[in-house]
Amino acid sequence: MDQARIANPLTAGWLRLGVGVLAMVALYLPLFPSLAKEWASFPSLSHGFAVPPIAGYLVWKQRREIHKLAISPSWGGFPVVMGGLILYTMGTLGGEPFLARLSFPLTLLGTVLFLGGIAVAGEVLPGIGYLFFMIPLPYTTLKGLTEQSRLIDATVAAAVLPWLGVPVFQEGFLLRLPNITLEVADECSSIPAIAALLALGAAYGYVSGRPRAIRLALLVSAVPLGLMSNLVRIILTATGAYYLGPIALHNVIHMWNGATVFLMTLGALMLLDSSLLRLQVNIQRSAVSL
Amino acid sequence: MRIIDHSLLVLLGLVGLTGLAITLPLGEGQPRLAAPIDALPQQFDGWVAVEGVPEEILPHDPRALQAVRRTYTKEGHTVHLVVARYPSRNHPEGRPSLNLIAPERGAIAVQHDLLWIPLDGVPGRMIPVQRLLLKRPERPISVVYWYQLGEETIAGHYRFRLALFLDTLLFRRREVLLVRAATIGSERPEPFLWAFYPRLLKILSS
């Protein structure tokens, strides 16, 4: 079929695709109340509220390209839909909501592939794929990682603080200062926010329209930048607690730690983005001059 | 032009079937006869129990349907034991709470490892159990724990969750217990566990 032919959006094929997608979303509606409850209960998961609108935007952004395509249903989508629905059924009946939630983007993509075809699925893939970022990791996994990161955060902070004139003795998760003892608690770790940081990196790279290499670099950098931002936050808090006393713990930087790390990571990503872009331009200029 | 074609019919059919399947009434389903964990012996092999375990040593888990909390002593050695029953169906809010296995809040450091113990008395047959070593400001606490799915002893969280998931899918209802034994300082729980484990299995198989 000629992919360049402009398709009338009111053709039967597009209507079938719309009905299919709506039916699939309706099937998954029971998942969303518990998901929204988790997003609301844990600050590190609150980015989940932003993921569906961002995913919708990523699809809407491609509307001109999608509009040019013709519907060409593919039976290749059938096994993807079947696999997703089996996962959904097993996850729901077996009491594992993580599996059920993971199946949603898979089933949605399979539906578009099955009713719309490969070309249409390719255009909506970034948007549908983005939905994976709204799914919280199992707590069993997060707990182990969080413990490790607490210890690393405390160890690094204890190594850096003396350089800022802060005498400190580390005892496991505790940082013992002369005037106060601080605990690097679970809430201080940035591990639970990994999904938010990856979502941030992915969205930033995609929306900025950068070349693929830069987009990948931004996505991969989001997590280490986020972890570093959290370390900086811990060190600043401990330094403030030494010089100003416990009142330093009641400031917005410490209490809104999720938002602080998010904003610091965003700033770092923007800096990295402009540096990589400048580097790419310089490389291209050097290549041209040669 | 037709809107409904075979592709859409197939998809809507799958949606309908899945919708039916996920609304199947599974029933809460506990095992036919719950094991009488409160029949665990108060005295055996020189160990003598008193009821109760301090909350700061082994926290109470509100998700447990029933719990036996005892402190056993023998010749100056003390072991705190909690055996708790949980729903036999896998559910995120029915499983044992990971945060309440040991008093981790406020711990200076937490170390995890596996302890291999010849729990069932058969020479050379070692069973792994989880051990948490908590360094706390007032005293170090060691908590050894494992999951019992019926007579199956499971140390790992993931393996336990997988087994419970499969049990739920296959409508198999086994007794779900979390067994925790805590000691203070350098006290070792192994001598107590060697004596206790066969008695636990006897209760579960009765």
pLDDT at B19 over 90: yes
Residue B34: which region, alpha, beta or left (left: phi > 0; alpha: psi -120 to 50)? beta
Instruction: Check residue B26 and give its pLDDT.
Output: 63
- Quote the distance between the C-alpha of residue B167 and its chain's center: 15
- Chain B residues close to A85, C-beta within 8 Å: 14-15, 18
Query: Best residue in B1, B2, B4, B7 to probe A by mutation, most A CBs within 10 Å?
Result: B7
pLDDT for B133: 93
**A214 vs A118, higher pLDDT:** A118
Burial class of residue A53, CB neighbours in 10 A (0-12, 13-18, 19+):
exposed
Secondary structure in 3-state letters for chain A: CCCCCCCCCCCHHHHHHHHHHHHHHHHHCCHHHHHHHHHHHCHHHHHHHCHHHHHHHHHHCCHHHHHHCCCCCCCCHHHHHHHHHHHHHHHHHCCCHHHHHHHHHHHHHHHHHHHHCHHHHHHHHHHHHHHHHHCCCCHHHHHHHHHHHHHHHHHHHHHHHHHHCCCCEEECCEEECCCCEEECCHHHCCHHHHHHHHHHHHHHHHHHCCCHHHHHHHHHHHHHHHHHHHHHHHHHHHHHHHHHCHHHHHCHHHHCHHHHHHHHHHHHHHHHHHHHHHHHHHHHHHHHHC
| Under 8 Å between Cβ of A248 and A181 | no
Q: Tell me: the pLDDT tens digits for B63-116?
A: 999 999 999 999 999 999 999 999 998 998 899 999 999 998 888 888 999 988
Instruction: From B87, B71, B83, select the one nearest B40 (Cα to Cα).
Output: B83
What integer best gives the mean pLDDT of chain A? Answer: 85
For residue B142, the cross-strand partners are: B133, B183
The answer to whether A164 and A239 have CB atoms below 8 angstroms apart is yes
Query: At B47, is the pLDDT very low, low, confident or very high (cuts 50, 70, 90)?
Result: very high
Mean pLDDT for A174-179 is 93
Give the pLDDT confidence of B118-176 residue by residue, as tens digits.
766 666 678 899 999 999 888 899 999 999 999 899 999 999 999 999 999 998 889 99
Closest CA to A153 of A189, A181, A177, A193: A189
Check whether B203 has a pLDDT greater than 80. Answer: yes
Cβ atoms within 10 Å of A212's Cβ, excluding its own = 8
Q: What is the pLDDT of residue A3?
A: 42
A89 → closest Cβ in B2, B21, B107: B21
pLDDT band with cut points at 50, 70 and 90 for residue A271: confident
Identify the pLDDT of residue B158.
93
In this prediction, residue A204 carries a pLDDT of 80
pLDDT, average across residues A42-46: 76
Q: Looking at residue A42, what is its pLDDT?
A: 77
- Residue identified by tokens 């029915």 is B94
Count CB-CB contacts under 10 A for residue B124: 5
Q: Please, what sign has the CA dihedral across residues A91, A97, A103, A108?
A: positive
CA A186 to chain centre: 20
Q: How many CB atoms lie within 10 A of CB A82?
A: 15
Please give the single-letter amino acid code of residue A5: R
pLDDT score for A9: 46
pLDDT of residue A7: 46
Residue A170 dihedral angles phi and psi, to the nearest 5°: -90, 135
Instruction: Return the minimum-mean-pLDDT range out of A14-28, A163-177, A182-196.
Output: A182-196
Q: Does A92 touch chain B (CB under 8 A)?
A: yes
Nearest-neighbour CA in chain B from A33: distance (Å)? 15
- The conformation of residue B105, written as its DSSP 8-state character, comes to T
Q: What integer is the mean pLDDT of B3-26?
A: 87
What is the rounded CA–CA span in Å between residue B191 and residue B187?
A: 10
Local structure of B100: helix, strand or coil: helix
Q: CA of A21, closest CA in chain B: separation in Å?
A: 10
- A12–chain B Cβ distance below 8 A for any pair: yes
CB contact under 8 A, B22 and A174: no
> What confidence tens digit (pLDDT) does each residue in A188-244 have?
777 766 777 788 788 887 777 788 888 888 888 888 888 888 888 889 889 989 998
Higher pLDDT, B12 or B36: B12
Question: Least CA distance to B135: which residue of chain A?
Answer: A172
Whether pLDDT at A277 is above 90: no
Please provide residue B57's backbone torsions phi and psi, each rounded to the nearest 5 degrees: -100, -50
Residue B182: per-residue pLDDT: 97
pLDDT at A274: 86
Give tens-digit pLDDT for A70-114: 888 999 999 999 999 999 999 999 999 999 999 999 999 999 999
Per-residue model confidence (pLDDT) at position A178: 94
What tokens does B193 get?
A: 């566990």
Check: complex ipTM more than 0.90: no
CB-closest option in B2, B22, B106 to A93: B22
Of B11, B91, B107, the CB nearest to A23: B11
Chain segment B184-195, per-residue pLDDT in tens: 998 889 899 989
d(CA A139, CA A113): 33
Q: What is the mean pLDDT of residues A45-50?
A: 84
Smallest Cα distance from A104 to chain B, Å: 13
**Who wins on pLDDT, B34 or A128?**
A128
Residue B25 CB coordination number (10 Å) = 4
* Residue A270 pLDDT grade (very low, low, confident, very high; cuts 50, 70, 90): confident
Rounded Cα distance between A280 and A260, Å, is 30
- Residue B90: name the closest of B147, B161, B35, B149 by CA: B161
pLDDT band at B198 (very low <50, low <70, confident <90, very high): confident
Q: DSSP assignment, residue B64?
A: -
| Displacement of CA B146 from its chain's centroid (Å) | 6
A155, A143 contact by CB (below 8 A): no
Could you give the percent of chain A with pLDDT greater than 90? 41
C-alpha span between A245 and A180 (Å, rounded): 8
Q: What tokens were used for B23?
A: 């609304």
Chain A, window 49-78: residues with a beta carbon less than 8 angstroms from a chain B beta carbon = 73, 78
- Residue B1: pLDDT above 60? no
Distance CA A30, CA A131 (A): 17
Q: Which residue has the tokens 């509220």?
A: A49
